[in-house]
């Protein structure tokens, strides 16, 4: 019994021998091994780059949407309801204060916007500019950036000071640069306003918001003097958390409807639906790209299998010699299976390196764009590489193990 046990190879030694033979065979055919592993390298690099691009695209879209305003709700009067339009239906500053009182601590910022147009001289010509009126919370709800100067404070609003902010394009047209604009004066509706700052939107809304390229922002309490009818359009509210957005949206709708004539229609919406749609589109896109990457991996596996089948045919006599000197069919099978796994795994590891390198290099050239690297995709790529090698290497390994030793020795 002890003699039989001594003739049985230990599993660890058995695998070590098989791996040694596999690596020796791969080293003997370095060019073919490198070219075969190249397909898996490209496939793995593609997987990681695809996942990185998909994540970067998703984050970029989400940041653009969130950049419009944090947990933002917007409301405006929508004409065409069950009653004819009346000035009494418009959202007013009193409605804005009522929203603040009703929602209390849930609100992190609430601002109404009034808008008109005016003509001012730019480069010797009269040009139309957008004049907006709002309060100190407008910066919070719209996520505005102040590259020069300051924004409104509460005293500017309460004391109806004739101060204003300019958009960056308008500041450059009038005063060559944002810093130069601060402290200058501009005439709006016949009154002189002192420029206290320059602003821009958190993200470019491409003209789809109330802010035009050439816009002047003044206190809403001053803007009220230029309006024959008090009309806030739109009303912006920012709440504490994403979880409170839907409830706050409904409460604002009910409040506006209760404060105006029955039948008046108010559109009260938030960005939650748009964010959800963007995430769903990103998920579908990621899935499609991953399917394409999976097809690439499968093609790489088929390529490895074909090369290994050719290798078995070319090394038939070598297999016969190994069997003649005592190698079992199981050893031969393991050798060729390990060869396929090693080719696939080594190519996959090199592919992972280049797949990670691409986003890292891209970050240097596109610092404004966050390109995340998914650790999960790296682990998955390595695991899939070994699995592909094992699955597609099984047929060549089985064929090598089934060769007749006598016929193999006769093969030329």
Query: Does 351 have pLDDT greater than 80?
Result: yes
pLDDT tens track for 139-176: 888 888 899 999 999 999 999 999 999 999 999 999 98
More confident residue, 106 or 44: 106
Find the range with the poorest average confidence among 28-32, 158-162, 304-308, 320-324: 28-32
Residue 151: what pLDDT? 94
Q: How many CB atoms lie within 10 A of CB 344?
A: 31
What band does 398 get if pLDDT is binned at 50, 70 and 90?
confident
- Listed in sequence order, the residues at least 6 apart from 314 whose beta carbon sits closer than 8 Å to its beta carbon are none
Residue 179: what pLDDT? 92
**d(Cα 406, Cα 8) in Å, to the nearest integer?**
24
pLDDT tens track for 107-142: 888 888 998 898 888 888 888 899 999 999 998 888
Residue 5: what pLDDT? 43
Contact (Cβ atoms closer than 8 angstroms) between residue 114 and residue 286: no
**d(Cα 127, Cα 235) in Å, to the nearest integer?**
28
**d(Cα 346, Cα 39) in Å, to the nearest integer?**
11
Query: Does 22 have pLDDT greater than 70?
Result: no
**d(Cα 57, Cα 282) in Å, to the nearest integer?**
7
Q: Which two tokens stand for residue 285?
A: 């896109």
Quick one: average pLDDT of 250-275? 82
Residue 70: what pLDDT? 57
pLDDT tens track for 30-80: 777 777 777 778 877 877 777 777 777 777 766 666 666 558 888 888 765
Contact (Cβ atoms closer than 8 angstroms) between residue 123 and residue 261: no
Residue 348: what pLDDT? 81
Residue 285: what pLDDT? 74
**d(Cα 325, Cα 321) in Å, to the nearest integer?**
6
Q: Which two tokens stand for residue 75?
A: 């409301």
**d(Cα 297, Cα 302) in Å, to the nearest integer?**
9
Query: Does 21 have pLDDT greater than 80?
Result: no
Query: Does 204 have pLDDT greater than 70?
Result: no
**d(Cα 95, Cα 231) in Å, to the nearest integer?**
10
Strand pairing report for 185-188 and 191-200: antiparallel
Cis peptide before 269 (omega within 30 of 0): no
**d(Cα 384, Cα 261) in Å, to the nearest integer?**
64
Query: Among 65, 66, 67, 76, which Cα is nearest to 252's?
Result: 76
The DSSP bridge partners found for residue 235 are 75, 112
The pTM for the full model equals 0.60
Q: Which two tokens stand for residue 410?
A: 């006769």
Percent of the chain scoring above 70 in pLDDT = 82
- Listed in sequence order, the residues at least 6 apart from 197 whose beta carbon sits closer than 8 Å to its beta carbon are 146, 148, 149, 150, 151, 165, 166, 182
Averaged pLDDT of the chain = 79
Q: Please, what sign has the CA dihedral across residues 73, 79, 83, 89? A: positive
Domain ranges within the chain, ordered by starting residue: 12-64+277-410, 72-270
Residue 7: what pLDDT? 46
């Amino acid at each position: 019994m002890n003699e039989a046990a001594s003739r049985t190879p230990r599993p660890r030694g058995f695998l070590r021998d098989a791996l040694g033979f596999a690596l020796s065979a791969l080293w003997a055919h370095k060019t073919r091994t490198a070219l075969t592993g190249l397909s898996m390298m490209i496939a793995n690099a593609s997987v990681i780059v695809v996942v990185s691009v998909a994540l970067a695209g998703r984050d970029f879209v989400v940041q653009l949407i969130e950049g419009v305003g944090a947990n933002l709700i917007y409301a405006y009067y929508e004409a065409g309801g069950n009653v004819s339009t009346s000035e009494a239906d418009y959202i007013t500053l009193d409605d804005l204060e009522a929203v603040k009182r009703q929602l209390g601590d849930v609100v992190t910022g609430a601002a109404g916007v009034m808008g008109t147009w005016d003509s001012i001289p730019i480069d010797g010509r009269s040009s139309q500019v957008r004049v907006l009126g709002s309060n100190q919370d407008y910066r919070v709800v719209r996520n505005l950036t102040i590259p020069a100067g300051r924004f409104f404070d509460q005293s500017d609003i309460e004391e109806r000071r004739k101060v204003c902010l300019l958009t960056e394009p308008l500041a450059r047209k009038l005063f060559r640069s944002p810093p130069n604009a601060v402290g200058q004066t501009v005439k709006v509706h016949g009154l002189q306003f002192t420029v206290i700052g320059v602003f821009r939107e958190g993200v470019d809304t491409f003209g789809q918001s109330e802010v035009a390229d050439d816009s002047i922002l003044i206190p809403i309490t001053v803007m009220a003097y230029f309006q024959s009818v008090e009309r806030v359009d739109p009303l912006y509210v920012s709440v504490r958390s994403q979880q409170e957005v839907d409830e706050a949206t409904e409460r604002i709708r009910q409040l506006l409807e209760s404060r105006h004539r029955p039948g008046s229609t108010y559109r009260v919406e938030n960005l939650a639906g748009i964010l959800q749609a963007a995430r769903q589109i990103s998920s579908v896109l990621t899935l499609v790209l991953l399917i394409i990457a999976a097809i690439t991996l499968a093609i790489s596996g088929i390529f490895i299998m074909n090369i290994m089948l050719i290798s078995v045919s070319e090394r038939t006599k070598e297999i016969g010699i190994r069997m003649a000197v005592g190698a079992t069919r199981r050893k031969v099978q393991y050798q060729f299976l390990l060869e396929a796994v090693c080719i696939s795994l080594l190519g996959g590891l090199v592919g992972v390196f280049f797949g990670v390198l691409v986003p890292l290099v891209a970050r240097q050239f596109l610092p404004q764009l966050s390109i995340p690297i998914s650790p999960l995709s790296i682990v998955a790529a390595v695991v899939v590489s070994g699995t592909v090698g094992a699955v597609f290497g099984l047929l060549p390994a089985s064929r090598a193990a089934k060769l007749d030793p006598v016929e193999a020795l006769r093969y030329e």
